[in-house]
Amino acid sequence: MTHRPTTDPTTAPDRVGHVPTRLGRLHVRSGGDGDGAPVVLWSSMFVDGHTWDRFLPHLRTDRRYLVVDPPGLGRSEPLRRRSTVAEAADAATDLLAAVYPDAPVDWVGNALGGHVGLDLGTRPGVLRSLVAVSSPTEAIAPALRRQIHLLLPLLRTLGPVGPVRDAVLEAMLTDASRADEEVRRVVADSLSRPTRRSAALAVRSFILDRVDVTARLADLTVPSLFVASDDRGDWDPRDAEAAARLAPRAEAVTVAGARTLVPLEQPEALARHVERFHASLED
């Protein structure tokens, strides 16, 4: 697995801060220049915005972008109570109103980030476009729900150690990616940042309580790209294609050699799809 450096000065975030929202202050990193629609990058459950670091060098250098740690994760303020994906989308509107009040944004979300984007995409005027990466539209499968219920008490009391860490790595990364020490470190470091209570509340709020939104795909108001990977059983290429057929202006693509964390595992391939999709919006 080869990657471009993550410290490319043309794309490395150069501004860091926190933005108040109804789910606490969200940690953000921003960079880039240009007058076009900003790109907002919202990461998956368990991890944080550093999973986009290998993706950023492949973006056009004339785009503004914002990398967000989700509520309760990374360096965002801890969650204090149980929440929902819909409320995370409400928090995202708070964020966008504060940072980009004048124009809709191009939303690129991985897993949880895609779920938030699917909600935002039904709200007129919030997004210009949506890219949902490895984001199943159904609620989680019963077998996975049972596994998480077993691991949640360990996460709440001991943190992301032993079986919890191993289960997250297996769910997020292919075998090849788990063998890459640098990739594993990005995930492990992300897991270590939130408090145990906040991480457990995020799991409850954004995974166990996630609802089926398939019926809402017809309400998407923006051009959308659904990105599947070839190694995630609960949202494979056929699932993404079926979801795209239900949305008014959507298409589906597949990135090979990835499971859930596509921006971390296959950043260049994902960037090619995203850049092509964004370029098509200018036609």
User: How does pLDDT run across 195-213, given as a tens digit for each residue?
Assistant: 999 999 999 999 999 999 9
Find the helix packing angle between 181-192 and 162-172, rounded to 10°.
120
Residue 126 has pLDDT above 80, yes or no: yes
For residues 27-54, average pLDDT = 93
Distance CA 138, CA 92 (A): 21
Average pLDDT, the chain: 93
For the residues of 140-198, what is the DSSP string, one character each?
A: PPHHHHHHHHHHHHHHHHH-S-HHHHHHHHHHHS-HHHHT-HHHHHHHHHHHHSS-HHH
Task: Give whole-number Cα distances, 140 to 1, 171, 232, in Å.
Answer: 30, 13, 13
What stretch of H or E contains 264? helix 262-265
Architecture of domain 15-280: 3-Layer(aba) Sandwich (3.40)
Amino acid identity at 106: D
Question: Which alpha helices (DSSP H) does 6-161 contain, by range?
Answer: 85-99, 112-120, 142-158
What pLDDT shows up at residue 32? 87
What pLDDT shows up at residue 280? 96
pLDDT band at 74 (very low <50, low <70, confident <90, very high): very high
For residues 84-106, average pLDDT = 96
What pLDDT shows up at residue 12? 62
- Report which of residues 37 and 68 the model is more confident about: 68
Residue 7 has pLDDT above 50, yes or no: no
For residues 128-147, average pLDDT = 94
- For the stretch 171-195, what's the b/e string if a residue is b when 16 or more beta carbons lie within 10 angstroms of its beta carbon? bbbbeebbebeebbebbeebbebbe
Domain boundaries of the chain, sorted by first residue: 15-280
What pLDDT shows up at residue 127? 97
For residues 253-268, average pLDDT = 98
Residue 3 has pLDDT above 70, yes or no: no
For residues 134 and 262, is the Cβ–Cβ distance under 8 A?
Answer: yes
For residues 105-112, average pLDDT = 98
What are the tokens at 127? 């997004």
pLDDT band at 6 (very low <50, low <70, confident <90, very high): very low
What pLDDT shows up at residue 9? 43
What pLDDT shows up at residue 35? 81
Residue 1 has pLDDT above 50, yes or no: no
Task: Give whole-number Cα distances, 255 to 14, 51, 114, 177, 240, in Å.
Answer: 29, 16, 16, 14, 12
pLDDT digits (tens, 9 = 90+) for 216-229: 999 999 999 999 99
